Amino acid sequence: MLTLTCPYCGVHADETELAPGGEAHLKRFGPGSEDEAFEDYLFKRENPKGMHFERWRHAYGCGKWFLAARCTTTLEVFGTYPAQTTEPPQEIKDKISGKRPGWTWRLFS
């Protein structure tokens, strides 16, 4: 079972305590944007076979949203971090680089 550590309350929460929330670090496009950008934002979500960054909510705990770095081929979790960030913390990126050299995800690497 998938276990994530909530970065706010520190609980090692298993999956039944959490609600998945899809892709992390979304840049939102709305009225006035190009159709293509709006379509990308709404429908063309990242679907990598490998490293992925996602939103989770500690639904049956503190209730807060946080972000996680997870591999979709091994389900290995490389870390969790608060949602008030625009990119993953360097220590998580370094940890991923240690095991997945050359990884990229959108503009991050």
Partner 1 sequence: MPQPVGGFALKKRYSVFAIAREAARHHLGWERAWASPAPKAKYDAIIVGAGGHGLATAYYLGKNHGIRNVAILEKGWLGGGNTGRNTTIIRSNYLQDPSAAIYEKSRSLYEGLSQDLNYNVMFSPRGVMMLAQTQHEIRGYQRTAYANKLQGVDTEFISPQRVKELCPIMDIDGPRYPVLGALWQPRGGTARHDAVAWGYARACSDMGMDIIQQCEVTAIHQSQGKVTGVSTTKGEISCAKLGVVVAGHSSVLAGMAGFRLPIESLALQALVSEPIKPCMDVVVMANTVHGYMSQSDKGEMVIGGGTDGFNNYTQRGSFHHIEETVRALVETFPMISRLKMLRQWGGIVDMTGDRSPIISKTPVGNIFVNCGWGTGGFKAIPGSGWAMAELMAKGEPGPLAAEFTMDRFRAGKFIDESVAAGVAH
Q: Does 45 bind partner 1 (CB under 8 A)?
A: yes
Contact with partner 1 (CB under 8 A) among 27, 75, 90, 107: 75
Q: How far apart are CA 6 and CA 55, in angstroms?
A: 12
Q: How many residues bind partner 1 (CB under 8 A)?
A: 26
Q: 69 near 53, Cβ under 8 Å?
A: yes
Q: 105 near 46, Cβ under 8 Å?
A: yes
The residue ranges that bind partner 1 (CB under 8 A) are 1-2, 15-16, 19-20, 22, 35-36, 38-40, 42-45, 47-49, 52, 54, 70, 72-75
